[in-house]
Amino acid sequence: MDVKTLCLGLLSLNEACGYELKRNFESRFKHFFAAGYGSIYPALANLAAAGLVNCREVPQDGRPARKVYEITEAGRAHFQNALGKTPPIHKLRSDFLVAMYFADQIDENKLQLLLDKQISEFHGATVHIERFAQPQSTSISAGAQFVAGFGKTVAQAAASYIEKNRHILECRPAAKLTENHDQIYESTTNEERL
């Protein structure tokens, strides 16, 4: 699934201009699909060229004209087809977990900062999701509700896990950092001890 397809999906719900789509990515998809102008605008041009959306310009004063994109029937069919075909990849890439894996090579203060920061980011994500998916606000779709709940649940589980288990990393056995090479070498020659 690429940005192009997701733009088409958003346009299947409502016509919009690039700027609005960007805001939707930031509010509704922030926790599981990122996209910037650099991929959204080319995607829209591409969709228009393929006849999957129509574009109509709405002049404004003081600003560039809005280019409002509306999905075509071909676009709608294309999107539903793409939804059915795509293998549902769910992929995490986490520099945070990489850093934690190598926690014993990180300075102790730095490590605590990283942990604190990550916890507050998960809390922030929870708050963000709550703000954009309040059930009482303008009748939210079932899909949006499900996805928001998923994001909240996972973020809370993650934050809670870190809070409860950070001690594993923090009480370390006489940490050896860059200064003392000999001991590091000796302690890592062991096979299969990754």
CB nearer DNA, residue 37 or residue 146: 37
Q: Out of 11, 35, 100, 115, name the contact with DNA by CB under 7 A.
A: 35
Among 11, 44, 114, 129, binds DNA (CB under 7 A): 44
Other beta carbons within 10 angstroms of residue 69's beta carbon come to 26
Burial 15-31 (b: 16+ CB within 10 A, else e): bbbbeebbebbeebbeb
Cβ atoms of 152 and 90 closer than 8 Å: no
Picked from a second copy, DNA, none, the partner binding residue 182 (CB below 5 to 8 A depending on kind) is none
Tell me: does residue 37 bind DNA (CB under 7 A).
yes
Interface with a second copy (CB under 8 A), residue from 39, 46, 144, 176: 144
84 is in the binding site of which of DNA, a second copy, none (Cβ under 5 to 8 A by kind)? a second copy
Residue with tokens 């934050």: 159
Distance of CA 107 to the CA centre of its chain: 28
Q: Which of residues 51-110 bind DNA (CB under 7 A)?
A: 60-67
Give the footprint of a second copy on residues 32-91 (CB under 8 A).
32-34, 73, 76-77, 79-80, 83-84, 86-91
Other C-beta atoms closer than 10 Å to the C-beta of 34 total 11
Residue 64 contact among a second copy, DNA, none, beta carbon within 5 to 8 Å by kind: DNA
Which residues, in sequence order, are CB contacts of 106 under 8 Å at separation 6+?
A: 99, 114
Q: From the list DNA, a second copy, none, which binds 45 (C-beta under 5 to 8 Å, kind-based)?
A: DNA
DSSP per-residue codes, 38-50: HHHHHHHHHHHHT
In the list a second copy, DNA, none, the entry touching 120 (Cβ below 5 to 8 angstroms by class) is: none
